[in-house]
Chain A
Amino acid sequence: MKIGVITFPGSNCDKDMIYVWEQLLEQEVVNLWHKSNHLQNCGLVILPGGFSYGDYLRSGAIARFSPIMQQVAGFAAEGGFVLGVCNGFQILCEAGLLPGALLHNSSRKFICKNVFIKPEHTNSLITASLNTSKAYKIPIAHGEGKFYTDQETLKNLNEKKQILFRYCDARGEIGSESNPNGSLQNIAGICNEKKNVFGMMPHPERAADVELGNTDGKEIFQSILDAVAV
């Protein structure tokens, strides 16, 4: 599958994402510039982490006006696969492609550490081949990652199986102890109703290289490839 990774000014996980898809998953990858108006026939468009435009106003608030975001919106509307990680997730929420918002962490501090997340179900491309009873060790690194939405949207997200991952502990228990940032119902990642736009705060690309001692994140990406290949 051809993968497009967008670089916004201030993206800083774009190269990491490209490295994983190109070198470790051996896919064709193109780097898409934010001023561009083409998605170059990619099967999956990824919005990587970083601090787009410095995120001085609100994370993702400016990046959603980048020219390429119009293309991303059109692509998503036609059912194209879009994944936002960290700042990419924030941009997708700001752009209205995903519901909810990402607020300042409850601690009011930036948090970077390994956490555990558990797939909610296997009803989406990104969780299709994951084990719903396994706690995946994936790092987070964000200051604004507390997922929030109104009660009705939350109810819908649950009912329509749009919740992809919840924060848990090493044993897979979901509780306030294992919630690193105060997200509603420990939500770490969601998708849209059509299940073609995905957003998550944890960084699978940081847990993909065997040389770094953790490949749980590679399994998440591999799930996408497996599902598309079928």
Chain B
Amino acid sequence: MGKTIQKEAISVDTAIKLGLLSEEFEKIKEILGRTPNFVEVSIYSAMWSEHCSYKNSITWLKKLPKDGPHMLAKAGEENAGLVDIGDGLGCAFKIESHNHPSAIEPYQGAATGVGGINRDIFTMGARPVAQLNSLRFGNITNEHARWHLRGVVKGIGDYGNAFGIPVLGGEVFFDECYTTNPLVNAMSVGIIDSKKMISATSHGVGNPVFIVGSATGKDGIHGASFASKDISETSMDDLPAVQVGDPFQEKLLLEASLEIADTDAIIGMQDMGAAGIICSTSEMSAKGKHGMKIWLDRVPVRQQNMQAWEILLSESQERMLVVVKKGKEKIVQDIFDKWDLNCVQIGEVTKGNELEFFMNNELVASVPAESLVLGGGAPVYERTYSEPAYFKENKKFRIDSISIPNDLKAVADFLTTHPNIASKKWVTEQYDTMVGTVNMSTNKPADAGIVNLKGLNKALAVTVDCNARYVYADPEEGCAIAVAEAARNITCAGGEPSAITNCLNFGNPYNPEVYWQFVSAIKGMSKACEKFKTPVTGGNVSFYNQSASVGKEGGNVSNAVFPTPTIGMIGIIPDKKYITSLAFKKPGHLIYLLGESVNDISSSEYLYSWHKVKQSPAPYFNLEKEWKVQTALKELIQQGFIVSAHDCSDGGLYITLIESAMPYHLGFSIDIDSDVREDAFLFGEAQSRVVVSVSPEKVDDFLDLIEEKLNIDYYLLGEVVKGDIIIDGKKWHKIAEVKEMYNNALAQYMNE
């Protein structure tokens, strides 16, 4: 078998057409000591794309806190982070974007996003137990946005429902900045016996390398490169870069993968996502410090005459690369036979570091694994950044410039039916939320999704959060708020925050103002994660969420989506008796606000949508105070002093109260704090506030603990009543009317 590369060397122009920079082409020549051929340039263009290499973000990602007392696998070490949750169990979890494919093909884009993130979890040997998703679309009155919403939700539903993992949480947000670039972030959470983790590695000279799962087709070729540019008029031409999902194959692959995880036949396994075979062969080889010889003509294919580079780069879904211990091939083969899946040896582990790809006995590419990967030879860029002018403008906002509306009830009804606030059941009822019989929040809604760990007296709390409007207003504070809100949701549900995964959705990183948003968000995330001792276990960066750049390099920051660093957080509920619902339980229970009432309406839905004031800072937020409120809440919950807890977030206190009242058809009677403006009190989104209800029998204990030990601001709002909403003695509504408005608003926008 010849070792000489047979194909002709190619020019820098071809490299640029494949998305590489001319200096990157020079670097490839230096690494190889010769001019690369077409297959090799294709390899580098995929592996050095933003999507795979993180070349424009990694210097900042490294500054995020990565270690915590419970980390079993840190960020970047494996396909997903792994956290010790006790009792010999680990929790593997990760969030990933599928924004670009969803922009042009919402159904398949979203479906394969769900498939990909779940593969990241079960390739480690963990069984997924919960899914979450964070979705952003253009204004719901825009048909293009509704097309995105319909397709994305159906795609997530059809894939996830068949795959059979319940959706336990998520968010849906509408703003015109997402019209061209919707954001589709999918998160999966899995549980594993900590001792059985499968590593994404390859070693042991002579060990066979198998491809398992679906056959390889021409779908998704250059998907990684596609995801690394702005969406433009010509993006529809990239449609073949979108993959097609098959949840049935994924389900079989899940069961087969978990069966082989139980054997001792495996060296390592990695799923094939972005950049397909080339990505898994290079990352596993680089991690295990070995080389690989791969015969591409042995890969099962879906169509005739596929070229070597097409097989290498195909992003066909539902495939895995498995390195098996020599002599144990039959164990693996039998398991895949049982599940009627392909399982074909396509190569073997070699000494050294070289990846050699053969097609019909001809060596078509030969590249060092290390040179392709993040942390190895992939380029790393320091980008310049500068503060955009809008940031200073935002800070000029003064609340006094806004007059208090005469009819506050009209504002309340406006917010109750606002698509960003109203019930998302039009979306969530299309997802199977109960398969797996672990969802403890179906009949007992809480601020976080709660996963039952059957047979143990503990549970897992999961949430995804990011108010991107706050992040746009002030990226550093806004991102710290996203972390704080996630932690607050976990705490309200009775949990203790454990770790986060992030999905960083931004515009074009070559624009210094966009990059400033990115850098500032990282700073905010770092300080909040340090405060809550929640390390970042991994995640994903999605740049280029920006409509076509005209003029200067990197386009204009105003063409970018709101900077959207979605935070996925898990927490542990150490005893099931701590699980706390958001729902009021009984008339006569007292309602308290924990935290400070502030004269603040900045960046609230009220200010933005009712007053149409789009320039204001992030809402009031103080990290220290947030920490104190959460610490106090945890103690109050664990002492058993409170009945319900629900944090104030989008829409403010009024929305929090109706959300607590609706589950059991109760009402509330409250008085407005005369120290703050009525509109700020009811609709302001100042952070670090939680509404709790307390039974009359426990109220003395509750107050004693706060006064004597916890030392936080609190305010008696009023009490739970039968079915009316009463504010300052005036009856605003029956809860049934509010429920009707809140529950049906989204369906009405969808014209159903």
Question: Inside 8 A of B251's CB, which chain A residues have their CB?
Answer: 9-10, 12, 51
> Looking at chain A, what size class is its interface with the partner chain?
35 or more
Pairwise interchain contact A114-B437, C-beta atoms closer than 8 A? no
Chain B's closest residue to A33 (CB) is B338
Pairwise interchain contact A139-B247, C-beta atoms closer than 8 A? no
Cβ 8 A contact of A139, one of B161, B340, B442, B444: B442
Question: Inside 8 A of B444's CB, which chain A residues have their CB?
Answer: 213
Cβ 8 A contact of A110, one of B430, B440, B752: B430
Complex Cα spacing A218 to B249, Å: 32
Pairwise interchain contact A55-B435, C-beta atoms closer than 8 A? no
B24 contacts the other chain (Cβ, under 8 Å)? no
Complex Cα spacing A16 to B158, Å: 20
Chain A CB within 10 Å, residue with most, of B158, B432, B433, B443? B432
A213-B248 contact in complex given A111-B430, A112-B432, C-beta closer than 8 Å: no
Contact with B along A204-216 (1 / 0, CB 8 A): 0110110111100
Question: Inside 8 A of B154's CB, which chain A residues have their CB?
Answer: 109
Chain B's closest residue to A109 (CB) is B430
> In chain B between 441 and 468, which residues have their CB closer than 8 angstroms to a CB of chain A?
442-444, 452, 454
Pairwise interchain contact A9-B430, C-beta atoms closer than 8 A? no
Contact with B along A39-62 (1 / 0, CB 8 A): 000000000011101111000000
B164 contacts the other chain (Cβ, under 8 Å)? yes
A183 to chain B, nearest CB (A): 17
> In chain B between 412 and 440, which residues have their CB closer than 8 angstroms to a CB of chain A?
425, 429-437, 439-440
Pairwise interchain contact B576-A211, C-beta atoms closer than 8 A? yes
SS class of chain B's interface: helix, strand, loop or mixed? Answer: loop
Complex Cα spacing A16 to B454, Å: 11
B163 contacts the other chain (Cβ, under 8 Å)? yes
A141 contacts the other chain (Cβ, under 8 Å)? yes
Complex Cα spacing A114 to B441, Å: 12
A38 contacts the other chain (Cβ, under 8 Å)? no
Pairwise interchain contact B434-A206, C-beta atoms closer than 8 A? yes
Pairwise interchain contact B157-A110, C-beta atoms closer than 8 A? yes
Chain A CB within 10 Å, residue with most, of B246, B437, B576? B437
Pairwise interchain contact B248-A212, C-beta atoms closer than 8 A? no
Pairwise interchain contact A10-B442, C-beta atoms closer than 8 A? no
Pairwise interchain contact A51-B434, C-beta atoms closer than 8 A? no
Question: Inside 8 A of A12's CB, which chain B residues have their CB?
Answer: 162-164, 251, 435
Pairwise interchain contact B437-A213, C-beta atoms closer than 8 A? no
Pairwise interchain contact A19-B454, C-beta atoms closer than 8 A? yes
B616 to chain A, nearest CB (A): 38
A113 contacts the other chain (Cβ, under 8 Å)? yes
A141-B432 contact in complex given A9-B252, A20-B437, A211-B576, C-beta closer than 8 Å: yes
Question: Inside 8 A of A195's CB, which chain B residues have their CB?
Answer: none
A54-B162 contact in complex given A10-B248, A206-B434, A212-B452, C-beta closer than 8 Å: yes
B339 contacts the other chain (Cβ, under 8 Å)? yes
Cβ 8 A contact of B435, one of A13, A19, A23, A54: A13
Question: Inside 8 A of A109's CB, which chain B residues have their CB?
Answer: 154, 429-430
Contact with A along B548-577 (1 / 0, CB 8 A): 000000000000000000000000000010
A212-B161 contact in complex given A111-B429, A141-B434, C-beta closer than 8 Å: no
A166 contacts the other chain (Cβ, under 8 Å)? no
Question: Inside 8 A of B425's CB, which chain A residues have their CB?
Answer: 113
For the complex with contacts A12-B251, A50-B164, A112-B434, 20 further pairs of A-B residues with Cβ separation under 8 Å are A10-B252, A12-B162, A13-B435, A16-B435, A19-B454, A20-B437, A23-B454, A50-B162, A53-B248, A54-B247, A54-B248, A112-B431, A141-B161, A141-B432, A203-B434, A205-B437, A209-B452, A211-B440, A212-B443, A212-B452
What are the 8 closest A-B residue pairs judged by CB atoms, nearest first?
A12-B164, A54-B248, A213-B443, A51-B162, A16-B437, A141-B432, A206-B434, A112-B432
25 contacts between A and B (CB under 8 A): A9-B248, A9-B251, A9-B339, A12-B163, A12-B164, A13-B435, A15-B436, A19-B454, A20-B437, A55-B162, A110-B430, A111-B429, A111-B430, A112-B431, A114-B442, A114-B443, A141-B434, A205-B437, A206-B434, A206-B435, A211-B452, A211-B454, A211-B576, A212-B442, A213-B444
Interface residues of B (CB under 8 A from A): 154, 157-158, 161-164, 246-249, 251-252, 339-340, 425, 429-437, 439-440, 442-444, 452, 454, 576, 752
